[in-house]
Structure 1
Amino acid sequence: MNVSSRYLGLDLKSPLVASASPLSRSLDVAKRLEDAGAAALVMHSLFQEEAVAESLELDHYLNYFTEAFAEALTWYPDLPNYRLIPDRYLEQLRLLKQNLSIPVIGSLNGVSTGGWTSYARQMEQAGADALELNLYHIPDMNVCGAEVERRSVEVLGAVKAEVSIPVAVKLSPFYSSFGAMAQRLAAAGADALVMFNRFYQPDLDLDELKVQPRLELSTSGDLLLALRWVAMLHGRVNAQMAVTGGVHTHEDVIKAIMAGADVAMMTSELLAKGEARLTEIERDLREWMERR
């Protein structure tokens, strides 16, 4: 039974894609994902703000006291001996590409047009088969929704002008008119739309009396919102679609494809039950199709 799919110009053996998560930080885990049946792997996100903050901190300490006396210049090793976040990310990307036969998709979360384009270009040069832009804007009560949308479209356009590989946009559902935003992004060149992003939410720790960020693993019930929008947008936007967040069973995968998605991405199920779930889900998917 043929369960192949095509996504971001890539021929995939199935619609099962391992979504962005810490799993891609380990080559051994990535290999197990491939062996279990992952048709493609989305890397964990490179956060531009983290990279910039680390670079500024390093610069501060490298120059701290160096003007006090000459010997201070010998306190620190040369800068090339330091591997910053982007360096480590690109190194891992190259390692995955060298050792996996499935497509590897880079994931980027940025805050400025220059940062997005710079890192996107470097990911392409490191061998990424495609890119996933993780659009997220820090809440600012002085910025209206129209401006947030304009910036998102601007970022996508800048990245598309910088790279030649396909670019997907991972979205949250929190736009005033999500359908119109999806159409704008598709018109601006998005090759695919990924629905939906899931964020850390602030919780209150009543023992420590402080804010504690939390990210709960998804359930199949979380898939419903993505299914709704995929079905509404199917045939109405010039972009492929992927669902993520809530894919746990072969039934979830089937629903995603029936609604109009090209691939179904998962992480929570793999974190909870292991990479072998990919094998089980693909087997159940094939059996369901044979019964039909």
Structure 2
Amino acid sequence: MTDLSTSYLGLALRNPLVASASPLSQGVDRVRALADAGVGAVVMYSLFEEEVHRDQLHDLMVTETHENAFGEAQSYFPSTAAQGGSGPESGGADRYLRLLEQAAVSVDVPVIASLNGSTPGGWVGFARSMQDAGAAAVELNVYFVPGDPHTSGRDVEDRHVEILQQVKAAVTVPVAVKLSPHFSSMGEMAMRLDRAGADGLVLFNRFLQPDVDPEQLVVTTSTGLSAPAEARLPRTWIAILHGHVTASLAATTGVDQAEDVAAYLLAGADVVMTASALLRHGLGHAAVLLDGLDEWMRRKGFGTLDELRGRLAVPVGVDHDAYERAGYVAALQQLRRTYGDPLGARS
């Protein structure tokens, strides 16, 4: 009998499969269904910085409109989002808090709130409201795509660190940072966030990539479900970072079958997140992934996750640049053996 229990962000999980932020958590019944499907934790769908700002602006406008009324009239002010109001004036932020509070007491697995933004500011304080509503942790999704070509790489990195520090100052629960792979030195960025107090790193976020429709002459925007081939990049970086950061490492992107879960764990992931597989195959696929992982572990002789986690990570103490270069050269040599050397054919 294998033991699938693990730890993530200091939280005890019954298994390493985590439902990542997606429409699957937009309702208490949906969160309960995810927990019943067997996942070890649920990350709520993301609350966006813009929603928090919009609710804060609405509350301010309502308050200022009536600020000169006599004192007894204060009772007709609608409750603000931060106060947990539930009236008809409640906005998206308030609805998020109510759902989070109900979900946290409805399931026996950790419920992690997701906060999505791109600028430092007062919105990050909303993480405290998430904590107060029962979030076991906060996943900070810094979705910042610098469209200004004059923005330096260091400015982008500094913004991530500043937002993390502001959120950490607002809460006592663990905070994970969901990262994109688009940094000039991914490893150094991860270690900066680790030193700044990140309790976990989630690798990687998938940015929206607009496209061009040459027939309609328009720019299209859409996003699709991830595919297993996309797992190579996050798996590479998890293998590099394993043993070099104290933060937990969460894998996301490209999880479809049990073999994908096992590969991420071998690279060094503490947990493996998925949304695409559950959207594509249904919630029952969580049991398929977990049963498949259990069968694979028994077949390979592993009794616990600690016995296999990081077995194929980049060894600590090696020259990382030389290690990656050697892998690159080996891959090219494999290509030549498979497809031949077109240059050699001409000589």
The structure 2 residue matched to 1:108, chosen from 85, 110, 115, is 115
Equivalent position of 1:254 in the other structure: 262
Question: Cα offset for 1:116?
Answer: 4.2
Q: Is the 8 A contact 1:3 1:15 kept in 2?
A: yes
Equivalent position of 1:126 in the other structure: 133
Once the two structures are superposed, the pairs formed by residues 51-62 of structure 1 within 5 Å of their partners are: 51-53=52-54, 56=57
* Superposition TM-score, scaled by structure 1 size: 0.90
Q: Is the 8 A contact 2:17 2:40 kept in 1?
A: yes
C-alpha distance in 2 between matches for 1:208 and 1:125 = 48
Q: 1:98 to 1:208 in 2, by over 3 A?
A: farther
C-alpha distance in 1 between matches for 2:286 and 2:224 = 21
Equivalent position of 1:167 in the other structure: 175
Note if 1:43 corresponds to 2:44. yes
C-alpha distance in 1 between matches for 2:180 and 2:228 = 18
Once the two structures are superposed, the pairs formed by residues 141-290 of structure 1 within 5 Å of their partners are: 141-206=149-214, 208-290=216-298
Equivalent position of 1:14 in the other structure: 15
Equivalent position of 2:319 in the other structure: none
Amino acid across the alignment from 1:268:
S
* Superposition TM-score, scaled by structure 2 size: 0.76
What SS does structure 2 have at the residue aligned with 1:98?
helix
Gaps of 5+ in 2: 66-75, 80-87, 301-347
Amino acid across the alignment from 1:249:
Q
Amino acid across the alignment from 2:228:
S
What SS does structure 2 have at the residue aligned with 1:11?
strand
Question: Cα offset for 1:57?
Answer: 7.0
Equivalent position of 1:70 in the other structure: none
Q: Is the 8 A contact 1:103 1:129 kept in 2?
A: yes
Q: Taking CA–CA contacts closer than 8 Å with sequence separation of 6 or more, which of the two structures ends up with the larger relative contact order?
A: 1
Q: Is the 8 A contact 1:116 1:159 kept in 2?
A: no
The structure 1 residue matched to 2:143, chosen from 119, 133, 136, is 136
Question: Cα offset for 1:161?
Answer: 1.7
Between stretches 80-89 and 161-170, larger displacement belongs to: 80-89
Between stretches 116-125 and 33-42, larger displacement belongs to: 116-125
Question: Cα offset for 1:211?
Answer: 2.4
Question: Cα offset for 1:115?
Answer: 3.0
Q: 1:55 to 1:258 in 2, by over 3 A?
A: same
Amino acid across the alignment from 2:116:
N
Compare CA radii of gyration and give the structure with the larger one: 2
Question: Cα offset for 1:107?
Answer: 0.5
C-alpha distance in 2 between matches for 1:202 and 1:79 = 40
Q: Is the 8 A contact 2:119 2:159 kept in 1?
A: no
Q: 1:138 to 1:266 in 2, by over 3 A?
A: same
What SS does structure 1 have at the residue aligned with 2:225?
coil
Equivalent position of 1:73 in the other structure: none
What SS does structure 1 have at the residue aligned with 2:161?
helix
Deviation per residue, 1:247-276 (Å, 9 max, x gap): 111101101111000000000010011000
Amino acid across the alignment from 2:166:
A
Equivalent position of 2:5 in the other structure: 4
Between stretches 178-187 and 202-211, larger displacement belongs to: 202-211
C-alpha distance in 1 between matches for 2:130 and 2:55 = 19
C-alpha distance in 2 between matches for 1:33 and 1:143 = 40
Question: Cα offset for 1:125?
Answer: 0.7
Amino acid across the alignment from 1:47:
F
Question: Cα offset for 1:111?
Answer: 3.3
Question: Cα offset for 1:199?
Answer: 2.0
C-alpha distance in 1 between matches for 2:145 and 2:297 = 43
Give the paired residue count: 280
C-alpha distance in 2 between matches for 1:137 and 1:23 = 24
Name the % identity: 48
C-alpha distance in 2 between matches for 1:178 and 1:116 = 26
